[in-house]
Chain A
């Protein structure tokens, strides 16, 4: 049985309590992130995803309920000041958060704050740049502002990765990137999990994009988790996805219609190929091709 690295219990978070701007962003969230898994948190804008993940390294503290990270309650005294070492949090559009003169120095900022010696911090930064697929020889000495948007995003992710966190949390890491850039990010996350056992929490509204990557999916709507489970399981519950304001992949909609029409297929196909095989099998055809 794998351990939970992050546990949220009845988590409630209210922005600006007691003012006309009061917003109940999280309304009783229960969620676990298991060791070494990739968990995708999906939901429409304003569903509370970003607020939720900012609790995972103590950036936000619960209004009520609690969050435990590696067994430690985030409201424990001094916990938020330590948690950034364990849980790397990549905020939205991290490419706008770079500030050092060179890419290398920027990526080494975190390791230096860990207390590593300059040489060690440098090595860590070079490793992180390579890990995200940037060529250190090419980009290390450049100004972050001279890189293209996609590369700058990768450099920013490297800046968090360089902390070697046990859990990596990314808020919309692929938003606004071209398809190749998106695939690069998703491949990177899959490799991190595989090679380093890093648990990855991925916030996104691109459900289809993360199907192959995520071991589990949690669907959020109006500050609550409305559905969770393995991707196939969640996909087969198209009604709940639509209620959460998410786009249900075309293949899944087709399979659901077939199920409703009495054709013996399973609704939760993750890829087009799988859907084709299901349909071909149900109609007694030789499937999986074309």
Chain B
């Protein structure tokens, strides 16, 4: 139910994608995401799909994990597909019942929406599967640093992001343990219904929040005792370094993005 391996989890491995500079990957995901949204025709979407498939195969992460990242959303995606198919008219009527009708145009539109969402999720997963949260945050900080002159606290934003990303799996693990512990005391055992559901939720949320606060305090003490000062200049253990292949990847994705934007106006 609350599996720790989900969207956003880093999968250690050696692959082309793992070896790229995190800035390349963040920019790449933005470009790929932009292409997904800009692609107006089936042909463009196919081109985006091909590049995404390339990224997936270069990530060294089993397809099964990509499926797991998407699968929890299956009902939402199915609902979106149905609504889109019913709501967007146009073209030949395939099926009709009273006020509702499914048209060829509606089906195509729904397929486009579904494909777009799946491509976006896959692209984002390719980033998070191959890049530890700290590296993602470092990349975001580096990419935002030109804005420091305008007063954007890039380092603090990046730290907040690191901490948030880092603690998602921790809190999921903790929630899972709490669920087991409260079930072992019979939570949710005696019947169902909104009251029982609320009880189970409270029995999870109270200790979960208390735990999060405890962890936050510990983290603050640990950081301060190792000399962290907000706003102070810091160096990194792992310097970011662009290589030739980063340039190649950026060129490919940049071309894809420009192509989808300019194609067909």
Contacts and interface: CB of A to CB of B under 8 A. Distances in A.
Contact of A163 (B12, B178, B185, B214): B185
Interface string B197-219: 00000111111001100100000
Given A81-B189, A99-B207, A113-B190, A16 B184 contact: no
Nearest to B190: A113
B185 A96 contact: no
Interface of B is mostly: helix
Contacts of B3: 16
A109 B184 CA distance: 11
A188 B12 CA distance: 45
Given A20-B13, A99-B207, A109-B203, A159 B190 contact: no
Nearest to B203: A99
Given A97-B178, A99-B207, A115-B190, A20 B11 contact: yes
Contacts of B62: 19-20
Nearest to A87: B184
Contacts of A16: 3, 5
Contacts of B64: 18-19
A228 interface: no
Contact of A91 (B180, B186, B206): B180
A9 to B, nearest CB: 23
Contact of B186 (A20, A21, A59, A114): A114
Contacts of A81: 189
A13 interface: no
A97 B186 contact: no
B184 A113 contact: no
A19 B64 CA distance: 8
Contacts of A52: none
Interface residues of B, number: 30
A278 interface: no
B183 interface: yes
Nearest to A83: B184
Interface residues of A, number: 28
A99 B211 contact: no
A97 B189 CA distance: 18
B182 interface: yes
Contact of A98 (B12, B184, B207): B207
A223 interface: no
A58 B29 CA distance: 43
A84 B184 contact: yes
A109 B5 contact: no
Nearest to A107: B185
A81 B184 CA distance: 9
B65 interface: yes
B187 interface: yes
Nearest to A99: B206
Contacts of B210: 96, 145
Contacts of B206: 99
Nearest to B204: A99
B3 to A, nearest CB: 8
Interface string A62-103: 000000000000000000010011001101001011110000
B83 interface: no
Contact of B65 (A19, A85, A96, A113): A19
Nearest to B184: A89
Instruction: Please name the 5 residue pairs, one residue from A and one from B, whose CB atoms are nearest each other, closest first.
Output: A113-B186, A99-B206, A110-B185, A89-B184, A97-B181
Interface of A: 16, 18-21, 54, 57, 59, 81, 84-85, 88-89, 91, 94, 96-99, 109-110, 113-115, 145, 159-160, 163
18 contacts: A16-B5, A18-B64, A20-B65, A59-B180, A84-B189, A88-B184, A97-B178, A97-B181, A98-B207, A99-B202, A99-B206, A99-B207, A109-B203, A113-B190, A114-B190, A145-B210, A160-B184, A160-B185
Interface of B: 3, 5, 11-13, 61-62, 64-65, 177-178, 180-187, 189-190, 202-207, 210-211, 214
Given A57-B184, A91-B181, A96-B207, 18 more contacts: A20-B11, A20-B65, A21-B11, A81-B189, A84-B185, A84-B186, A91-B180, A91-B184, A96-B214, A98-B207, A99-B203, A99-B204, A109-B185, A109-B187, A109-B203, A113-B189, A113-B190, A159-B185
